[in-house]
Structure 1
C-alpha cells in the first residue's frame, strides 16, 4: 500500500532537558509500527478513500480553479489490538533527492498547498477498525496556475530512550500525497545545468574505457515533468532512465542530480560528450503539452596511456631488432674481411715459396 516515507521526529524531551531533538525513522512496510517500553505496538495505514472506505487510489489529485474547493475523504486503518488516537496534519510536499515523496516536518511552516487543506486535528480508531475522515481543500483566489504538492499524515507520539538515558518524545507518521493543479496557463519547462564528465581508463589496451556524466535537471515551469533523455560520449549513446526504471518526477521548482555512465568510449585524447534532455509534462487529461528539450555539450580529456605504452613497447622491440640486425651484419662483414685477408696472405706465401 503506497504511503509517505515514515519519519520519526523527536518532539520533546523530559522536563530535565531544555532542548528538543529531531530524528528520522523510515520503515518499508505499509503499516507503521511504533513501540516503547510502556505501550503496546501500534500499526496503522492511511489511504485516500470515499465516504465508504478506501477506494484504491494511491494518492489524491484535484484540478480546481482559483477560489474553488473540493471535499474528499481519507481512511485510517488501526491494525493494533488496542484503541489509538492519531493526530492529523497537512503540510507542503516535495520529492527527496532519491525521488521519494515527503512532506515538511512539523517544525517547518507550510506556505503553499499544505495550507489549503482543512481536516480534524485528531481521530480515535478502535482496535482493528477503519475510520473514514472527511477533509476539504480550498484554493486561494490568487493561487498561481500549475501543480501544487502537499501531503496528509496521521501520527502518534511515543517515548523512547535517547543516548544518556533521557526520555524522548518521538512522533511517527504516515500518509499520502495530495496534488492540486490550479487551472490556468500551463508552462512546463526544464533546464539542464552543472554538467560535468570524467573518463575512467581501462588499463587493458584492447578494451575501451567509460565516461561518467553528471548533471542537474531543474523544473523551471509550473507543471510536473518526467525526466528522460540521452547521453552520448565517444560515439556511444545511453538513454536515461535505464530500461525498467521509472522516470524521475519533478515538481515545479524541484531539481535533481543525475549521473549516467557510458561504456565503450575509446581514449582519443579528447572525448566529446553531449546530454539531451527530453522532458515530458504530466497532465490529468492525457494531453502532453510540448516541453522544449535542453542540451549540454562538452568534452573530457582521455589520454590513451595504455595504448601509448603498447606503441612505445613495440617501438623499443623494433629498435632492438634493427639494432641487433645491424650488429650481426657488422660482425659478418668483419668475419668476411678477415677471411679475405687471411686468404690473400696465404696466397702470397705460396707464391713466394
Structure 2
C-alpha cells in the first residue's frame, strides 16, 4: 500500500549542500515522533570537521572515505542512503538530483550501503567508495550523498509520500589536463527612464556566464558603466560556482544615471579555479563591451516646450510692436491730413 502511494507522488525536500550538512533536518511521519538528523563527512572514528568531500582521483582508480549519520531523535531510525549527480542552482547553492531522476556522471561512481540504522542520540559511521571510470574526462565532476527518510502524509483522502534529505557535496577531480574556459552570452541592456525631467533613471544589464571548460569556476567580476563600478556577486550574495557545462545568469541595476543618449560600458570577468591542493588561481580575465541607448525624452520635451514658449512670447511681442507702429502711422497720417485742411482755410 505504501509503495503504491509513494509511486503516486514523491517530493524531494531540503537542499543537499555542504553548508547545511552539519545542521539537523526535521522530518515527521504522519504519526509518531518527529525525526531529526545530520549527515557530515567523517573518518573511521567519526565526524572530522569537513563540510564537503573533495578528491583528486586518476581515471580507473578509486578512493575510500566515510560519512557519519547522527540521529538527534528519541527513537531508532533507518535512513536511506543514496548518491546522485550534483549541480549548482540559480542561487549558487549546491543541490543534487532528486531520487526520481537518473544520474549519469559522478553520482554513479559512488558505492555505499542502501541504508543505515541509527539508535536514538547515536552516530553511525558509514564507509563509501568513489571509483572513477577509466574513460572519465579530466576535470571536476560533482555529486552528492544524502541520508533520507520517507513519510506518508494524508491529503484529500490519498496518501502522499514525502522524501526528506540531508547530505553533503562530493567533488571528484579526475586528474589530467585541466582547461578552464568560459564565455559571456545573451548580453541585454535597457535604460529605465524617469519621466520626471529632474530625476535620473537607471540602467539594467543582464548576461549569462557559460563554463566551457572542464573545471569548476567561481565567477566574479565588475560592471563598469556611467562612471560606476558594480561588483557581482555582491558582498551579501552567495558565491557563484559554475560547474563544467553549466551557466549562471546575472542581472545588475545601476541607479541614478542621467540619460546621456549613448552610454558605453564593460563587463569585466575574473573567474577563479580551485586547485587540487585547495589553492585558488585566477583564470585569464576578459572584458565584454556593453552599450545602452538612453534618449533623454523628458528633457527634450521640456526643452521643446521652453523653445515654443519663447517663440510664442517673441511672436506676441512682435505682433504688439507691429500694431503699435500701425497706430502711430495712423496717428501721423491723421495729423498730416489735419494740417493740410488747416492750410486750405
The alignment's TM-score, normalised by the length of structure 1, stands at: 0.87
**2:88 equivalent in structure 1:** 95
Displacement of 1:271: 3.3
Q: Which runs of 5+ in 2 are unaligned?
A: none
**CA-CA distance at 1:264 after TM superposition:** 4.0
Are 1:153 and 2:111 an aligned pair? no
Q: How far does residue 90 in structure 1 lie from its aligned partner after superposition?
A: 1.1
The alignment covers a number of residue pairs equal to 339
**1:122 is the counterpart of 2:115:** yes
Q: Would you say 1:344 and 2:332 are equivalent positions?
A: no
Preserved contact between residue 226 and residue 249 of structure 1 (Cα < 8 Å): yes
Q: Which of 184, 187, 202 does residue 210 from structure 1 map onto?
A: 202
1:293 corresponds in structure 2 to: 285
Asked if structure 1 preserves the Cα contact closer than 8 Å seen for 2:92 and 2:238, the reply is: no
Q: 2:234 maps to what in 1?
A: 242
Within the candidate set 49, 52, 55, 2:45 is matched to 52
Q: Secondary structure at the match of 2:51?
A: coil
Worse overlay, 343-352 or 249-258: 343-352
Q: Following the alignment from structure 1 to structure 2, what is the Cα–Cα distance between the partners of residues 247 and 26?
A: 20
Shift of 1:184: 1.6
Moved more, 211-220 or 333-342: 333-342
Unaligned runs of 5+ in 1: 1-10
Q: CA deviation digits over 1:21-77, x for unaligned, max 9?
A: 243434889322222332321111111122222222111111222233322221111
TM-score w.r.t. length of structure 2: 0.89
Is 1:188 the counterpart of 2:176? The answer is no
Corresponding residue of 2:165:
173
In structure 2, how many angstroms separate the alpha carbons of the residues matched to 1:223 and 1:336?
92
Deviations 1:323-344 (A, max 9, x none): 1210221232123223323443
Conserved? CA contact 2:11–2:163, under 8 Å: no
Tell me which residue corresponds to 1:219: 211
Contact 1:13 1:20 (C-alpha < 8 Å) held by counterparts = yes
1:260-299 aligned within 5 A: 260-299=252-291
- Give the Cα–Cα distance (whole angstroms) in 2 for the partners of residues 49 and 300 of structure 1: 52
- Match of 2:254, SS? strand
2:327 aligns with one of 326, 330, 335? 335
- Which residue pairs with 1:139 in the alignment? 132
Residues 13 and 168 in structure 1, CA contact (< 8 A), matched pair in contact too: no
What's the offset of the Cα at 1:206? 2.9
Query: Quick check: 2:34–2:73 contact (8 Å CA) kept in 1?
Result: yes
**Residue in structure 2 matched with residue 84 of structure 1 by the alignment:** 77
Native 8 Å contact 2:10 2:161 kept in 1: no
- After TM superposition, the structure 1 stretch with the greater mean CA deviation from structure 2, 207-216 or 247-256, is 207-216
Shift of 1:236: 3.8
2:30 pairs with 1:37: yes
Tell me: CA distance 1:243–1:35, structure 2 relative to 1, closer, same or farther (3 Å).
Answer: closer
Distance 2:174 2:260 in 1: 52
Counterparts of 2:10 and 2:330 in 1: how far apart (Å)?
98
* 2:8 aligned to which of 20, 25, 33: 20
| Cα deviation 1:234-255 (Å, max 9, x = unaligned) | 4544222223434310111111
Match of 2:313 in 1: 321
